[in-house]
Structure 1
Amino acid sequence: MHSVRLLVAAVVAAAVLAPVAASAERMWLGFHDDPVLRFDANRQAEMDLAHGANNASILRTLVTWADVAPTRPANAADPFDPAYRLDDLDELVRNAQARDMEVLLTLWGTPPWANGGKGRNVLPTNLADFQNFSRALAARYSGRYAGYPFVRFYGIWNESNLGLFLSPQFNAKGQIVSAAAYAKLAAAGYAGIKAGSPRALVAIGETSSNGRDRKKAGVSDAVSPGKFAELVAKANRKLKFDAWAQHPYPVPVNLKPTQKVRWPNVALSSLPRFEKALDGWFQRRNIPIWITEYGHETRPGEPKGVTEAQQAQYIPQAIALVRKDPRVTMFVWFVLRDSQGSPWQSGLYRRDGSAKPGQARFAAAAAALRATNGKVTVKGGTKDPALTVYVRSFCANNAPGTPVGITSKTTRGAAVVAVSQPSVALAPDCTVSYRVTGLTVARKQTYTVKASLNTANGDAVTRTITIVGV
């Protein structure tokens, strides 16, 4: 084995997203189901089910600021201030890491001490309080502290275009005011997260699929995601973020994934229009999209839902739609299992634990799109291309800097074209980066890299990465 080496920071930073962002043929697929995966007495077994039987590579969870910080911290930016109550979240991220899964933390819910007791859906009086909380949380999961796993993905607020989660949506004159307020919140959250964990990736929006853009008596206020995003950009066109998160549920709940909706509502079928609009509003190119909630509720649990057979039909349809879209790098199904603790009946399993017909369909799609088996595009003529490999589970038993041995065999068709055996250092974000020595990438050629990775502790994984010359 060669001596341990680290690639320059610029190469690592450029390569770490490539296995996912380069193609919609790879994406993070998983679940959001806090009642089952975070709080259920059998959560360990349920998490085994999510990863083992369903090939999940990511779990999303809500981090409710009001619950985490019921009293004002003495030093809110300190990740270990005694006021913070994070034992259950610590356990979830550790459980996910041990099973080779990433985590998405969506922050929301103002504590009473931060907004004069106005409710969780009302923003803090001083946005510095949210920025400090965001910084503390990201620092805790930055990979710098032993026993506290690195968290790669963050979202700022939940369904911020709905009055249920962000109020007010309108002022007394009926004008939309939530978007401008959210732009300030998102700026504060992004700054805090990046200060606490520079390698973290942050999505904004987390928007619901539909809204009315006007007040309606007796109905909860809601702004359409398209109009909301447009006004966020108008408030701060230079707002920093790594992705826009969307919840493109069918409305009503019995409709198909291919449902057409009136713009500026946003369903799966209208994502391309939404993406083009986002680029224009924020004056950026190719803004990534994270689908951080999606699902089809089933009868009889949801009387207005689809049949279980229809759900089984719709699951591959929905994933096929997003697979065609190179912007979509994440797809989170809501929920894993129907349970008394969840108001939604969109699980792949019934309350008794038996699988619905759609479970096998989801598992097959997730296996084919597994983000840890990356796909990268490389300019033709590149020698010894750099790869970054996700080895999340290695961080459960090894500190950053631990040597990781790699046996890498590269083939083009049936021919072996490169073999290398480097030893590299485990990065704080649970990746390793190395160069495929002996390979010169040719244009319009496809290569398959089989990488077997191991540590002295006995940890071992195998990854398959596709390199496409362009």
Structure 2
Amino acid sequence: MLRRALLPTILLVLVAIPTTTAHAAVTTKKAIWGPVEIDSQSQFPVYKELGAGIYQTTLNWADVASLEPLDAKDVEDPSYEWPDEIDTAIDEAKSAGIDVALTVTGAPDWANGGKAPTTGPTKAADFATFLSVAAQRYPSVHLWSIWDGPYKGGAGKYAQLLDGAYVKLKAASKLNKVIGGQSTTSTAAKWIPKLKLPNGKAPRMDFYGHDPSGSKAPTAASLKSLETKVAKLGKGLKLYLSPVKLTLSPTKQAAWIKAALKATKADKNVATFGYQGLIDDSNVPSTWKGLLDTDGTKKAAFTAFKNG
């Protein structure tokens, strides 16, 4: 049953879909967030043209389980309403040779004391159970990002949420990889040292997620600084830089993406650079800028991402 769009509705009018040309080499060094389809046309040929090896989207726990399940461990529990868009995305991504990554976030009110979905669950075990069921529902998905941005409950609570999710996802499949951390440019310095479990150890994860959005693109020096901080959480943790969101002018947006991809491509400790926004939102001009204009015209940022 379709609950609601996974991403904000970005178009109220039909737009011209860009004709794809020769695509860049597809690589998991690049990820993209965007609509599965526009005007019933798959956007995965566009994502392939961009060279994105990962398509990332959101699985919102609060939407899937708005009503408390009778048996939370049963993927077929009638209270679960799994979004059709993810099934479509998985099928279309497979045809395009692109992996799917799911960012699992949002707590239903029955799990967090009646608060907004951005507030985490009262019991980390409830979230872990949902991850276990989600892994059963989407067995071909092996990239799982835990929560959307810095956790409002604090780094310590987030560490428990992350570690519990890690255990369940690894139990579901040894192929599953977990993206944790979820810091931003402004929070990383204080956030990372506080990512500790009650026993003082760092939570387990396979990649460290970080959103480098800001006025300045990541550089070799800034990446090295972040990697030094992250190294204290575990040996060999690579960076998963996503979701990048920009509100810059077209020229500055393209320059930012070009510089960021140059730096991340050259850094062996960066696993992925992920951009959020395929197409501009005609209704809210100040929102994150996409790689296409509102009418589907390719912007300079599209070329910058494709060639990066």
TM-score > 0.5 by shorter chain: yes
For residues 226-305 of structure 1, the aligned pairs below 5 Å read: 226-233=189-196, 235=198, 236-250=200-214, 255-257=215-217, 269-280=221-232, 282=233, 284-297=234-247, 305=248
Q: Distance in 2 between matches of 1:334 and 1:238?
A: 28
> 1:159 is matched with which residue?
149
Aligned equivalent of 1:358, options 281, 295, 301? 301
> 2:13 is matched with which residue?
none
> 1:32 is matched with which residue?
33
> 2:17 is matched with which residue?
none
Partner-residue secondary structure (3-state), 1:202: strand
Q: Distance in 2 between matches of 1:90 and 1:328?
A: 29
Q: Distance in 2 between matches of 1:256 and 1:180?
A: 29
- Contact kept in structure 2, 1:336 and 1:347, CA below 8 Å: yes
Change (3 A) 1:234 1:137: closer
* 1:256 partner amino acid: K
Where in structure 2 are there 5+ consecutive unaligned residues? 1-26
- Contact kept in structure 2, 1:248 and 1:291, CA below 8 Å: yes
> 2:119 is matched with which residue?
122
**1:88: how far off?**
2.3
**1:286: how far off?**
2.3
Change (3 A) 1:348 1:321: same
Q: Distance in 1 between matches of 2:73 and 2:282?
A: 36
Aligned equivalent of 1:72, options 68, 84, 87? 68
* 1:30 partner amino acid: A
**1:318: how far off?**
0.9
- Contact kept in structure 2, 1:158 and 1:207, CA below 8 Å: no
> 2:167 is matched with which residue?
191
Q: Distance in 2 between matches of 1:228 and 1:57?
A: 29
- Contact kept in structure 2, 1:44 and 1:95, CA below 8 Å: no
Kindly provide the CA deviation profile for residues 419-465 of structure 1, in whole angstroms up to 9, marking residues without a partner as x.
xxxxxxxxxxxxxxxxxxxxxxxxxxxxxxxxxxxxxxxxxxxxxxx
Where in structure 1 are there 5+ consecutive unaligned residues? 1-25, 143-149, 161-165, 169-177, 211-223, 260-267, 298-304, 366-470
Change (3 A) 1:325 1:341: farther
- Contact kept in structure 2, 1:31 and 1:335, CA below 8 Å: yes
For residues 162-241 of structure 1, the aligned pairs below 5 Å read: 166-168=151-153, 178-210=154-186, 224-233=187-196, 235=198, 236-241=200-205
Change (3 A) 1:238 1:68: same
* 2:59 partner amino acid: V
Q: TM-score, normalised by structure 2?
A: 0.83
- Contact kept in structure 2, 1:309 and 1:357, CA below 8 Å: yes
Q: Distance in 2 between matches of 1:28 and 1:83?
A: 37
- Contact kept in structure 2, 1:60 and 1:292, CA below 8 Å: no
- Contact kept in structure 2, 1:65 and 1:111, CA below 8 Å: yes
* 2:29 partner amino acid: W
Kindly provide the CA deviation profile for residues 26-63 of structure 1, in whole angstroms up to 9, marking residues without a partner as x.
64312112xx23xx553633222222x31221111111
Q: Distance in 2 between matches of 1:77 and 1:258?
A: 41
Q: Distance in 1 between matches of 2:287 and 2:152?
A: 23
**1:309: how far off?**
2.4
Kindly provide the CA deviation profile for residues 379-438 of structure 1, in whole angstroms up to 9, marking residues without a partner as x.
xxxxxxxxxxxxxxxxxxxxxxxxxxxxxxxxxxxxxxxxxxxxxxxxxxxxxxxxxxxx
- Contact kept in structure 1, 2:195 and 2:202, CA below 8 Å: no
Q: Distance in 2 between matches of 1:124 and 1:295?
A: 26
Partner-residue secondary structure (3-state), 1:292: strand
RMSD: 2.2
- Contact kept in structure 1, 2:181 and 2:192, CA below 8 Å: yes
Partner-residue secondary structure (3-state), 1:338: coil
* 2:147 partner amino acid: W
- Contact kept in structure 1, 2:156 and 2:195, CA below 8 Å: yes
**1:94: how far off?**
1.7
Q: Distance in 1 between matches of 2:202 and 2:184?
A: 23
> 2:78 is matched with which residue?
82
**1:98: how far off?**
1.8
* 1:58 partner amino acid: I
Aligned equivalent of 1:96, options 93, 106, 111? 93
Q: Computing the radius of gyration over CA atoms, which structure comes out larger, 1 or 2?
A: 1
Change (3 A) 1:234 1:68: closer
Q: Distance in 1 between matches of 2:205 and 2:135?
A: 15
Partner-residue secondary structure (3-state), 2:179: strand
Q: Distance in 1 between matches of 2:97 and 2:260?
A: 25
Aligned equivalent of 1:319, options 231, 236, 261? 261
* 2:155 partner amino acid: A
* 2:167 partner amino acid: A
Q: Distance in 2 between matches of 1:76 and 1:340?
A: 40
- Contact kept in structure 2, 1:137 and 1:196, CA below 8 Å: no
Change (3 A) 1:248 1:195: same
**1:357: how far off?**
1.6
Kindly provide the CA deviation profile for residues 253-288 of structure 1, in whole angstroms up to 9, marking residues without a partner as x.
xx33158xxxxxxxx7522112112222x2x32211
